[in-house]
Amino acid sequence: MIRAREVRAVFPDGVVEIMPTHLAIKKAKEMGLDLILVAPTAEPPVAKAMDYGQWQYEQKKKQSEAKKKQHVIQVKELKFRPNTDDHDYEFKKNHAIRFLQEGNRVKAVVQFRGREIAHVDLGQKLLMRFAQDLAEYGAIEGQPKLEGRNAHIIIAPVKQQKKKKDQSAPSPTPAAPTS
């Protein structure tokens, strides 16, 4: 189903030719192979003579390898109240640090119940304090938002550069022999 008039045909014996499509298909059939379009946007399009089943198998392998290597970023949610105690705050902050180091985003939520909604400023101060404490590990995505009875902020992980071995440390020198 190659629609181009001519293609750059690549054959298994290493021959690369620019030829009309119908001739390239005919030559591939004589070799017992299929002509597969591998670069349709090139000028002229690149087609390779190979077994179609083998090509499909290789494509599936490439996709599965790419899938294995990708890291899915999750959003981890931590819930607070406006009057959260210091110990609970520190405990949740340590969890957030671990989540950010793993490469996940953190959503900090302050829930207001009953009359607490009158003190939205306390919740926003708590969220800003939380974001400042995590500034070393993550960056804020926007300002705290109030939605209904919840205020939230999202913190994305900061990419950390791999630390190189300390080259400035003096290397041990052998002691001079004393006579």
Q: What is the CA radius of gyration of the chain?
A: 31
Out of 4-8, 13-17, 163-167, which region has the weakest mean confidence (pLDDT)? 163-167
Distance CA 49, CA 21 (A): 12
Structure confidence at residue 3 (pLDDT): 81
How far apart are the C-alpha atoms of 101 and 110, rounded to whole Å? 23
Distance CA 64, CA 146 (A): 41
Burial of 39 per CB tally in 10 Å (0-12, 13-18, 19+): middle
Task: Output the pLDDT for position 165.
Answer: 44
Residue 40 in this model has a pLDDT that exceeds 50: yes
Q: Which CATH superfamily is domain 75-157 in?
A: Translation initiation factor 3 (IF-3), C-terminal domain (3.30.110.10)
Closest CA to 158 of 134, 177, 176, 174: 134
Name the amino acid, one letter, at 90.
E
Mention the CATH class of domain 6-65: alpha beta
Task: Please report where in the chains the tokens 């349709």 appear, as a residue.
Answer: 40
Q: How far is CA 21 from the centre of its chain?
A: 40
The residue with tokens 């494509």 is 59
Task: Judge whether 96 and 134 are in contact, CB under 8 Å.
Answer: yes
The residue type found at 95 is: H
**pLDDT, mean of residues 22-29:** 90
* Sign of the four-CA dihedral 105, 110, 111, 117: negative
Note the pLDDT tens digit of each residue in 108-158: 999 999 888 888 888 889 999 999 998 898 888 888 888 889 999 999 988
CA nearest 127: which of 91, 93, 87, 97? 93
| Domain regions of the chain by residue span | 6-65, 75-157
